[in-house]
Amino acid sequence: MRLLFGFVIAGLLAAALPAAHADELWCGFIDKAGSPVRCGFSSLAQCKQTLGDQKDAVCMPSPSFAKAHRDARGG
């Protein structure tokens, strides 16, 4: 359930960002109890490569970048 929620949030954030800025800052985590969220990846590919091919790996746009982008748009 948490994994599905993570994918939904990541999809919504990615859809809200313009294509030119969508890959500026990414965060990722393994969807398991106690797994830390790691941010600062410069691209989705870098995030996926670092987390590996685990089925519980989740990469998403950085919430701080999404918030800054939303604030800049006046949202």
Strand ranges, E, within 15-74: 26-30, 38-41, 57-61
- Residue 22's pLDDT is 47
The reported pTM is 0.55
End-to-end CA distance of the chain: 29
Number of domains in the chain: 1
Is there a contact between 22 and 11 (Cβ–Cβ < 8 Å)? no
Cα angle at 44 between 72 and 10, to 5 degrees? 60
- Summarize pLDDT for 42-73 with one digit per residue, the tens: 999 999 999 988 889 999 988 876 666 666 76
Could you list the residue range(s) of the whole structural domain that residue 12 is in? 2-73
Is there a contact between 59 and 39 (Cβ–Cβ < 8 Å)? no
- Once rounded to an integer, what is the mean pLDDT over residues 7-18? 54
Strand ranges, E, within the chain: 26-30, 38-41, 57-61
